[in-house]
Amino acid sequence: MNNLATLKGMACLGVLLGSPGVVADYATDLDQAAWRAERTASRCVLEHAIEQVATARFSANGKAPPVLEVNWHARGIQGGQTTLSVVSAPWQPATEQPLAQSHWQRQQLRFDQHIPEALHALADGRWLAISAPGNPHRLVISGIHFQQAHNDFRLCRGEGGVDRAFNGERLTLHFQSGTRALSPEQRRQLAALAAHIGERKPASLLLESHTDNRGDEALNLEISRQRAERVADELRRFHPALPMAIRAFGEAYPATDNSTPAGRYQNRRVVISLIKAEQAS
């Protein structure tokens, strides 16, 4: 039987969950989640690595349907059936939708059914979970920082870029605790947003910035203002004449509960909204 319980306490693939929708104490730092896309001689690859322990890899040969392979780099996997499911992110209402099944073989899983649906779920902000019958722990593949790499993966496959970094006319950036500077991934997201702005030609942008409730309230208000200004400065590199309004709220309006690391991560955010001409009038 698949002994996923042996993974407890290790830096595992994504996040280990003790019950549906609840992140266990040994969750991987959400700020460190990363995805990358690359083109090899014969395949397009979309990869998510967690330190030196495990790798989740979507791959496709041209227009062929993509597959998902999970390689476990440490000992402890003893075979057995597993189920791949779409699950909610920790800050969302708990849901779980089974997609496909596979078996561990030599420290590897391969899923080749319903993988387009799995990619679509990650692009929409949901996560993926791999579970074994009778075992309360699940391996969860985070969708954080997925958007740009997914765009690159689709371009590699000749599907054209998708605007999954945006929720309608809105982009949300999350920040590591205490930081104001933009990460390379955030700069890539803003570059994609700038291209989107060039196509949609909004009348203006609205930047709303929030923090978690850790630390001094006045300092959090200042941090939220500084983050929004960094975002605005980056966007002005592409659209210097576009009006941008900044609203800094500090910790006043959390998106979710601040009692967990996942909740605080969700609350440390700058929301960029595209304002159409009719909305601005």
pLDDT tens over the chain, length 281 residues: 333 333 333 333 444 333 344 333 233 556 667 788 888 878 899 998 766 677 899 999 877 899 999 988 766 555 688 899 998 887 778 889 999 999 888 788 999 999 999 998 887 778 898 887 876 777 788 887 787 788 778 878 876 543 444 555 788 899 989 899 998 888 988 998 998 898 888 999 999 999 999 999 999 999 999 999 999 999 999 999 999 999 999 999 888 888 888 788 889 999 998 887 655 54
pTM: 0.56
Question: Is 70 within a domain?
Answer: yes
The domain of 21 spans 4-156
Number of domains the chain is built from: 2
Q: How far apart are CA 85 and CA 96, in angstroms?
A: 6
Domain final residue pick, 156, 178, 196 = 156
Q: Are 150 and 39 members of one domain?
A: yes
**Structural Rg of the chain based on CA atoms:** 20
Q: How far apart are CA 229 and CA 7, in angstroms?
A: 42
Amino acid at 272: I
Q: Are 220 and 152 members of one domain?
A: no
Q: How far apart are CA 281 and CA 263, in angstroms?
A: 36
Q: Are 148 and 221 members of one domain?
A: no
Closest among 206, 217, 252, 212 to 91, alpha carbons compared: 212
Question: Is 163 within a domain?
Answer: no
Q: Are 113 and 81 members of one domain?
A: yes
Q: How far apart are CA 110 and CA 101, in angstroms?
A: 9
Both structure tokens of 131: 């579970």
